[in-house]
Amino acid sequence: MLSDGLIQYVQLFVLVVFRVTGLMIFAPLFGSSRVPRRVKLLFAVILAAGLAPTVALPTDLPQSVWQLAVGIGGEILFGVAMGMVLSLTFIAAQWAGEIMGQQMGFTMSEMFDPQFGARSSVIGELYFMLTLVIFLLLNGHHAILLGIRDSFAHLPVLSVGINAQVLDLLTGLLLSSTNLAIQLAAPMLLTMLVVDLALGLVGKTMPQLNIMTAGLALRSGVGIAVIIVGLGLSSRVIERNLADCLSSFYGFVAG
């Protein structure tokens, strides 16, 4: 009957909407809090409306509200997992910038970052924006749209869940992101160690010199120079990590 077919399509559309919405929570660019919630919701509904006709109808649709709620929960978790796979590189880059800003004495200039709902330093915001630019140059936003489309072909609705394989993937990406943050921040940490040792020696030989005042300006100047010199190398490291992240994302949605 027409009414039965309409009910089945509505259930399918709702499941597709919630998988896309789960992705929008953490996905780079799309999940930013700078984008109004109404705009994100409207985009998720429009994207789901375009995807729903291409999604295969499950053989066993929910027969009650509770079964539908469980199915919606599974779709949201899967969407959130996809978003986390893509966002870990951004978190690592911003974390590295936070470490650099702290070493340079820029913690006084922290600002509120709506992307993660916390305070962020200028250097952390700089590295986040750098990662976002590289992500766009790699057509990462296209990869997100293609990945969410392919996810319905490889993992139909009501057939996904958070299993040991997914947790292992997220754990591996978390370790990789931590490694990325350390790689990006290591030159600054080593440079500031040398600066501290030099300031300590100067303070011993010239006690009348105000090391605190001179050291703050010196750390800031040397830190900015290190960032400028290493920006090209940092960009290549971030680009390589983003490429690996997009590859893991495709492997994740392909099951």
**Which pLDDT tens digit goes with each residue over 93-108?**
888 888 888 887 776 5
Q: Is the dihedral of CA 224, 175, 26, 151 positive or negative?
A: positive
Cβ atoms within 10 A of the Cβ of 115, count?
A: 20
Report the pLDDT value the prediction gives residue 69, as an integer from 0 to 100.
Answer: 82
Report the pLDDT value the prediction gives residue 109, as an integer from 0 to 100.
Answer: 54
Ordered DSSP codes for 58-95: PSS---SHHHHHHHHHHHHHHHHHHHHHHHHHHHHHHH
For 111, which DSSP code?
E
Give 187's pLDDT tier (boundaries 50, 70, 90): confident
Q: Which residue in 91, 70, 64, 66 sits closest to 15, CA to CA?
A: 70
In terms of residue numbers, what domain contains 82?
Answer: 2-253
The answer to whether residue 111 scores a pLDDT higher than 60 is: no
84, 170 contact by CB (below 8 A): yes
Give 194's pLDDT tier (boundaries 50, 70, 90): confident
Q: Average pLDDT, stretch 40-58?
A: 83
What's the pTM? 0.78
Number of domains in the chain: 1
Q: How many angstroms separate the CA atoms of 194 and 224, rounded?
A: 15
